[in-house]
Structure formats: C-alpha cells, structure tokens
Amino acid sequence: MKIFYSDTHLGHAPEFEVFDGGVRVPNFEVPERATRILAALKQTDWADVHAPADFGLDPIRAVHEKGYLNFLASAWTEWLAARPESDSAADKSALLPATFPPAGWRHRPEGLLGRAGYYMMDLSAPIVAGTYKAALASANCALSAAEAVSKGERAAFALCRPPGHHAGKANCGGYCYLNNAAIAANWLSSKGRVAVLDIDYHAGNGTQDIFYERADVLSISIHADPDFEYPHFSGYADERGAGAGLGFHHNFPLPAGTGDAAYFATLEIALGHIREFEPGYLVVSAGMDIYADDPLGKIKVTTKGIGEIGKRIASPGLPTTIIFEGGYNNDALARNVLALLEAFK
C-alpha cells in the first residue's frame, strides 16, 4: 500500500491549547502521533512510503475561502510583528484569539486578533511558526493518496498531520487547519462521484460545511453525540444537507460508551447509504480516537473492533483514500492504524 508522509509536520508543534473552562494544557496533537505510526508502518512488508507531490494551491483554493487562506499564510509573521516590544518567548509562542463573533456578528475585522477570532473556531488550533507549511504538506499527502487511487491503486493512506476534518470553508479548529479529506474528495469529484466516510470520534463538522449543499459528494459522519461532545454545534442527525445537497449528508451521533457491536450496526447503515449512492471513489477520515482508551474519547471500540471496521469499509471494493485524523493514545495509536489499514493491503 502506498503511504504518503512528510517530515514538514514536525515544524507544527504548539506547546499548549486551552481546554474547557479556560485551562491551559499541553497540546494533545503532537508530532509523536505521526512519527510512531510511520515507524510501525516501516516495520511491515506492505507499506510503501512516499513523500507527497506538490499540487500547488489550486486544489486547496477550490475548498477553502481566499480570505481564510491568506490569514493562515500570514498570521504567524503578523503575530511576531505585532509584538516587537516583548522579549518573552511565552508571549510569542502561539497565536490564539480571545474574542469570537456570536451568531449573526460576522463583520470581518482588519486587525490580526479580530481576524483570528473570525477565522478560528476555538482555542485548540494554535498557530505557530510551522503551522501553515505543515498544513500545506498535510493537504499534499491527502492529494497524493487520492491521485494514487485515481491511477489504479486499490487504496492509499495519507499520514496527515495536522489533521483536517474540523476545518471548514473559512475556519480552523479542533487541531485542524486545512480539510485534507475534503480537499482530496473535491479533487476526486472531477473524476466521478465521491463518498466521504468520517469515523473519527468527533463530528466532521468542517467536511459537513464544505459539502453540505452538494449532491456529487456524499458525506457521512459517525461520531460521539455533539450534545455532550465537541464540536457541540454541529453533527446532529437532523442535519441532512441543504439545497442541491439535501439528503446527501448523514450524521450518526452515538452515545458515550458505544462498543464494538453497536458501532458495527451503525456502520452498516452508513455503508448502505454509500452503496445506494454508487460512488466511484471513497474517502475515509480515519480517526483512532474511537479507541476505548483514548484520553479524549468516550466511545469504547477495541483494537480488534477497529480491524473489523476496516474490513467492513473495504468490503464494497471501492478505490479508497484513507486520511489520518484524530487519535491521542500514543501507545496504542500505531497498532490501531495498522489494524485498520491491514484490511486494504
């Protein structure tokens, strides 16, 4: 199986994020997540690791708004320039806003911190020196995997970091800056119908935002119920698409404690929608935070269960681009990723 990975992700290493209640904690989305998976893949006899190609900005601009991309590209240098009086490294360690627009207040300010609040959904996506380059490389990994599948590979894996499925048309959030799965799916959509299946613990709100009014891309997300879990304001079962996209989006919110059997039952319903849609390509947002011992999750799927999920997703035989998303138990992460991928090798 072709695997696409870039060391550029190492430059994105925020020291902290801000948790519920305003608690500043060490960032859970660390470089070790990707490097551990890469090391495990290199120990197999089936992983063929490649650096991604550079697809330029056009496939990214096709998904994300221009103003948002300009903000991501310039935010760090603007942040440093805005604080020349500070000698403290802590004062410059990351850009995070303190003010966000409530519903209906959507005037875009010109000042940096105003734009940060406008384009950032929460306090878990700090911008640091290497963020933009890492996000671009991550998107190129996804595009390279999609290209490999379009040229005849049965499946390809994009070892993306930072992840992407919380990034909407014009926002970052939840560790995500560019929506790798949506960028890959949109690129593939010029070649045929595409289904996106998100199995991350958290709702794929960014992917939903991007494809919500489209009928050529079916988007499905299986996730913890947003009534009790991030992202809270998106991912409900009654969100089914709009306009031309009405009926082409499906959310499957799950209760805390969902185990293997209940997850499989929901997955079968989702796969039924995919079969009915008859796509030419499948894109999977593969989050391993559904694992029973993930520190950020309350769903209780086992490693064996993740392997079975992989088998069931592979069963329709669709050309499949697998995009790495969440998963924060670093001791189990590589084992879980390999359990999923082995169904496609």
> For 131-173, what is each residue's pLDDT tens digit?
999 999 999 999 999 999 999 999 999 999 999 999 999 999 9
The answer to whether residue 137 is domain-embedded is: yes
Query: Is 250 an annotated catalytic residue?
Result: no
Please give the single-letter amino acid code of residue 56.
G
318 burial level (CB within 10 Å; 0-12, 13-18, 19+): buried
According to the model, what pLDDT value does residue 111 have? 95
The answer to whether residue 62 is domain-embedded is: no
- Dump pLDDT digits (tens) for 230-244: 999 999 999 999 999
Q: Per-residue pLDDT averaged across 6-15, rounded?
A: 97
Strand (E) positions, the chain?
2-4, 16-18, 24-26, 48-50, 155-158, 194-198, 217-224, 249-254, 281-286, 320-324
The answer to whether residue 320 is domain-embedded is: yes
Q: What percent of the chain has pLDDT over 70?
A: 97
CATH label of the domain that carries residue 262: 3.40.800.20
According to the model, what pLDDT value does residue 293 have? 98
Residue 22 has pLDDT above 90, yes or no: no
Q: How far is CA 125 from CA 94, 175, 243, 275, in A?
A: 10, 5, 31, 35
| Mean pLDDT lowest among 37-41, 93-97, 272-276 | 93-97
Which two tokens mark 130?
């290497």
Q: Which residue among the candidates 166, 223, 249, 250 is catalytic per the annotation?
A: 166
Which two tokens mark 148?
């490999």
46 C-beta neighbours (distance < 10 Å), count: 12
Residue 2 has pLDDT above 90, yes or no: yes
**3-state secondary structure string across 171-215:** EEECCECCCHHHHHHHHHCCCCCEEEEECCCCCCHHHHHHHCCCC
According to the model, what pLDDT value does residue 90 have? 53
The answer to whether residue 96 is domain-embedded is: no
How would residue 53 be classed by pLDDT, with cut points 50, 70 and 90?
very high
How would residue 104 be classed by pLDDT, with cut points 50, 70 and 90?
confident
The answer to whether residue 66 is domain-embedded is: no
Range of the domain at 157: 2-15+23-54+130-341
Q: Per-residue pLDDT averaged across 50-79, rounded?
A: 98
- Positive/negative CA dihedral, 303, 308, 311, 315: negative
The answer to whether residue 224 is domain-embedded is: yes
Residue 62 has pLDDT above 70, yes or no: yes
Phi, psi of 281 (to 5 degrees): -140, 150
- What is the count of structural domains for the chain? 1
- Can you give the pTM of this predicted structure? 0.97
Give 219's strand partners. Answer: 196, 249
Q: Which helix (H) or strand (E) holds 52?
A: none
What's the half-sphere exposure (Cβ side, CA atoms, 13 Å) at 106? 5
302 C-beta neighbours (distance < 10 Å), count: 17
Choose among 211, 122, 114, 163: nearest CA to 337.
163
Cα 275 versus chain centre, distance: 23
The answer to whether residue 124 is domain-embedded is: no
Residue 76 has pLDDT above 60, yes or no: yes
Residue partners of 340: CB distance under 8 A and separation at least 6: 286, 288, 306, 307, 309, 310, 322
